[in-house]
Amino acid sequence: MKLVSPGEAAANTNDIPAEAGEEFVRIGEMAKKYGVTLRTLRFYEDKGLLNPHRDGSTRLYTRRDKARLKLILLGRKVGFSLRDVKQMMDLYDPTGTNTKQLRLALDKSEKQLARLQKQRALIDDAINELSNSMSVVRQMLVERTTAPQASAAG
């Protein structure tokens, strides 16, 4: 009777009302599995992005929470704020077609895509400016190491 797959770091072994093949995972496991910290998971919960079950006060994450976390991480990767992610997730309705949710996601995505492209342009600009400056500096350094004895000061 394990909470998670065997071989993993599982210390406590509470008797959890695992009626069917429900896989409950505690916060430590969850964090390791997705490469986030405990703090992060609690933070996401505090922000209403996650809603794990509880066994007393212990958080228990199901595959539903895992799916949500994956979405959060994807959202973050593409540059959405947690607020945006929440807005989109809050529209999810397991009984409907979620057309509204999808439309909002698409709308936000288009705007985010535009932001990303603008950002890339800014970065390209910065790279160019920086490269130019570096050339100038290198040139100045060369003049300071090769010219001294050739100038009128010698």
Considering only residues 39 through 68, tell me which ones interact with a second copy, judged by CB under 8 A.
none
Classify residue 80 as exposed, middle or buried by CB count within 10 Å of its CB (0-12, 13-18, 19+): buried
State the binding string over 66-105 for a second copy (x if CB under 8 A, else -). Answer: --------x--xxx-----------------x-x--xx-x
State the binding string over 98-137 for a second copy (x if CB under 8 A, else -). Answer: -x--xx-xx--xx-xx--xx-xx--xxxxx-xxx-xx--x
Which DSSP symbol is given to 49? Answer: S
**What one-character-per-residue DSSP string does 60-128 give?**
EB-HHHHHHHHHHHHHHHTT--HHHHHHHHHT--TTS--HHHHHHHHHHHHHHHHHHHHHHHHHHHHHH
User: Residues 109, 114, 116, 120: what is their CA dihedral angle, to the nearest 10 degrees?
Assistant: 160
User: Residues 76, 80, 81, 85: what is their CA dihedral angle, to the nearest 10 degrees?
Assistant: -90
66 forms part of the interface with DNA (CB under 7 A): no
144 forms part of the interface with a second copy (CB under 8 A): yes
Task: Give the interface segment with a second copy, choosing from 2-10, 18-26, 38-46, 139-147 (CB under 8 A).
Answer: 139-147
81 forms part of the interface with DNA (CB under 7 A): yes
Residue 99 touches which of a second copy, DNA, none (Cβ within 5-8 Å per kind) = a second copy
Residue 38 touches which of DNA, a second copy, none (Cβ within 5-8 Å per kind) = DNA
57 forms part of the interface with DNA (CB under 7 A): yes
